[in-house]
Structure 1
Amino acid sequence: MGQQAHFITFATRDLDAARAFYIDGLGWHPLLDVPDEIVFFQIAPGLVLGLFESAKFASDLGIPVDETNVSGSTIAHNVGSPDEVRLITEAMAGAGGTTLVAPSPGAFGGIFHAIVRDPNGIVWEIAHNPGWSIAADGSVTFG
């Protein structure tokens, strides 16, 4: 298997709240939006985020709905400055997200970050790390 992923999909208890957060609140444009089922967003070259209505997600996986909760994961969005961290955190909170960690220096790796949970429990880290770089093609360099 190649070392790559193309879709990250999360079960979503309230698909309408997810749409309101990402589309109306953050201004994202869906790649595909299937009412009452799933919405996909292109989030990087070759990478799509899917938000799948939880009962249909559970049915697709063959598991009970109560086993579809998001837990123990974050999606990181890296930006160019601490001010961008602050602005994006404000936008996410204004769109209905919950700020778990206000913009501040992180405990690890010299980053400045904030942690925001979307209305369905997906946790985002908005971070500026001057020791990392992300090239135009999306490749990441540490150090």
Structure 2
Amino acid sequence: MEQRVHFVTVATRDLDRARDFYVDGLGWIPTLDVPEEILFFQVAPGLVLGLFEAEAFAADLGAGTPVLPAPTGFTLSHNVSSPAEVDRVLAQAAAAGATLVKPGQSAAFGGYHGHFSDPNELLWEVAYNPGWQVAEDGRVSLAPVEE
């Protein structure tokens, strides 16, 4: 198996709230929107985020699969170009209906970050990391930040 991911799909308890948040609140443009089933967003070259209505998600997994609770133990991270941009994105998300989990602040990795959860409790980090570099071919490098 090659080391790559094309889709990140998350069971979503309220797809309409997710649509309101991401499309109307954040201004994201869906790649595909199937009402009452799934909503896809192109989030990077070759990477799609799918928000799958939880009942349909469970049905797709097969008979007897319970509807899953909100995802825990991971974050999706949105990296930006400055600490001020972290604060702006956190404010935009909160205005769109997100819950601010952690306000923007200095981070242990040497940058600046904060966290919010979307209306379905999907946890996001918004981060400025001066050691984060993305090459033209899409490869990411993380260099330690000198303090």
Which of the five TM-score ranges fits, normalised by the shorter chain? over 0.9
Matched, 1:119 2:119: yes
TM-score computed with the length of structure 2 as normaliser: 0.92
Query: Distance in 1 between the 2:78 and 2:138 partners?
Result: 12
Local SS of the residue matching 1:60: helix
TM-score computed with the length of structure 1 as normaliser: 0.95
Structure 2 match to 1:16: 16
Contact 1:44 1:138 in 2 (8 A): no
Q: Residue 42 of structure 1 aligns to which amino acid in structure 2?
A: Q
Query: Distance in 2 between the 1:80 and 1:137 partners?
Result: 19
Per-residue deviation, 1:72? 0.8
Percent sequence identity is 54
Task: Indicate the larger mover: 55-64 or 85-94.
Answer: 55-64
Structure 2 match to 1:50: 50
Contact 1:58 1:68 in 2 (8 A): no
Q: Which ranges in structure 2 are unaligned for 5 or more consecutive residues?
A: none
The count of corresponding residues between Structure 1 and Structure 2 is 141
Q: Which ranges in structure 1 are unaligned for 5 or more consecutive residues?
A: none
Contact 1:45 1:137 in 2 (8 A): no
Structure 2 match to 1:90: 91
The CA RMSD measured in Å over matched residues stands at: 1.0
Query: Distance in 1 between the 2:7 and 2:69 partners?
Result: 17
Query: Distance in 1 between the 2:140 and 2:114 partners?
Result: 20
Per-residue deviation, 1:136? 4.1
Query: Distance in 2 between the 1:69 and 1:98 partners?
Result: 14
Per-residue deviation, 1:138? 2.9
